[in-house]
Amino acid sequence: MAEADRKNRELSVFQAILARRSVRTYEPRTLDITTVQTLLEAAVRAPTAMHEEPWSFVVVQDKSALKRLSDDAKPLFIERLLHAEPPTPRVLHTFNHPDFNIFHEAGTLIIIGTKMSGSFVEADCWLAAENLMLAACAMGLGSCVVGSSLSALNTPAVKAALGIPAEFKAIAPIVVGVPRGKSVATPRKKPQVLSWMFPNVGVRDVHPS
């Protein structure tokens, strides 16, 4: 997408929040370096506990490496599911299919993680992830968290293959790219307010009758 076209499509923050989708179909293009750097700049402006800024980033844009990573990740994800709860037949069929790519053929994977430990480092990384995804949406790009890749990304073999330091823990793997077609909006529940305390009044029922 040309820079001028992208700027013309940029959205306000609230428009981007409402427009963001988990995109699972992408054009076969790779994002340019400037675009990736812009997304990373948005990510590092996220809130951070005690100003630790614990996040680090890994960018993978090699299509063959992404395909190998997808193939490595699928059986590990199925194994993890089997230990937690029986996956549905549809999920088993999808992840066992040799042609299924967990990265949805996107050309850019940005892995947000940390080399630090602490009570809030994972939360900080997820806040950075949301910043990145909203920025991508505002720029006319699609994104999707690919949690099924986490088990593979945190193995020594995959870290070595991708040049990731052994102490790095992958937390939020996100594919980003140019969407192919439109993603359908999914409904969201109304905010569930459990309690609302007003000044000089106390708790009041704010639910519509």
pLDDT digits (tens, 9 = 90+) for 156-170: 999 999 999 999 999
Residue of 198 and 46 predicted with greater confidence = 46
**Percent of the chain's residues with pLDDT above 90:** 76
Pairwise CA distance, residues 30 & 69, whole Å: 17
Angle value at C-alpha 49, between 110 and 160, nearest 5 degrees: 35
Beta bridge partners of 170: 113
For residue 22, pLDDT beyond 50? yes
Q: Domain locations in the chain?
A: 3-203
Pairwise CA distance, residues 176 & 122, whole Å: 21
User: So what CATH class is 3-203?
Assistant: alpha beta
Q: What is the pLDDT of residue 1?
A: 46
Q: What is the pLDDT of residue 9?
A: 58
Mean pLDDT score, 60-73: 97
pLDDT digits (tens, 9 = 90+) for 103-122: 999 999 999 999 999 999 99
Rounded alpha-carbon distances, angstroms, from residue 91 to 81, 82, 97: 10, 11, 10
Let me know: does 142 contact 179? Beta carbons within 8 Å.
Answer: yes
Q: Provide the mean pLDDT of the chain.
A: 91
pLDDT digits (tens, 9 = 90+) for 27-42: 988 999 999 999 999 9
For residue 209, pLDDT beyond 60? no
> pTM score, two decimals?
0.89
DSSP string, 116-182: --SSSHHHHHHHHHHHHHHHHHHTT-EEEE-GGGHHHHTSHHHHHHHT--TT-EEEEEEEEE-BSS-
The three-class DSSP label of residue 67 is helix
Please report how many Cα atoms fall inside a 13 Å half-sphere around the Cα of residue 172, on the Cβ side. Answer: 22
For residue 208, pLDDT beyond 70? no
